[in-house]
Amino acid sequence: MADLAHARTAPLVDENRWLRMLPDVCRWVLRGDEPVRAAAEAALGLPVPAEACRAGTSGERAALWLGPDEWLLIAPEGQEGLADRLARALEGRPHSLVDVSHRQVGLLVHGDVATTLLASGCPLDLSDRAFPVGMCTRTVLAKAEVVLWRTGVDEFRLEVWRSFAPYVTQFLAESARGTI
């Protein structure tokens, strides 16, 4: 089996006053029907949204609705046991639970320019009315697929494939040159 230690190394990202890398976390993609969603919610002790484009949180853990039968689960490192607990709760139910921790990184775009910077490459209406706090979705930023989650009025979490992180942050930096 290939050694994935190199896969968890941080990509080259220039942090600044409106962008920072988030700490490594555990990530899983869960696929299943309504009974799977309900069992996951009970096992994890956090709301696993049934409503489209919403995030459920409990402390530092989160479940982001990505599709009618798909959720991105996020937990701080060291909580790998959650996957075992979840697997036991889902035993006998048709589902898929895949660890994608190595695939993605988290970026925080924050401050009074966050919405403007993201809007420069994202086709969504990111106004407070159309994309309120707690909303999340899979979308594109420039040419990269991202999961976008509004965690505060002027704060967005981006889940980006590790290999796309330098591109995304350089795109945002270029957008900032004309904005800030």
Asked which of 1-5, 107-111, 128-132, 157-161 is least confident by mean pLDDT, the reply is 1-5
Least Cα distance to 90 among 78, 79, 102, 82 occurs for 82
Res. 54: pLDDT tops 90:
yes
pLDDT value, residue 78: 86
Report whether 110 contacts 130 (CB < 8 A). Answer: no
Report pTM. Answer: 0.89
pLDDT value, residue 120: 95
Please, what are the domains in the chain? 16-179 (3.30.1360.120)
pLDDT value, residue 6: 47
pLDDT value, residue 177: 86
**Higher pLDDT among residues 48 and 10, named by residue:** 48
User: Which residues, 6+ apart, have CB-to-CB distance to 44 below 8 Å?
Assistant: 58, 61, 63, 73, 82, 85, 86
Distance CA 101, CA 145 (A): 16
pLDDT classification of 12: cutoffs 50, 70, 90: low
Walk across the sheet containing 55-58 and list its strands: 55-58, 61-67, 70-76, 25-32, 95-99
Taking only the tens place, the pLDDT of each residue in 74-133 is 999 988 788 899 999 999 999 999 999 999 999 999 999 999 999 999 999 999 999 999
User: What percentage of the chain has pLDDT greater than the value 90?
Assistant: 83
pLDDT classification of 1: cutoffs 50, 70, 90: very low
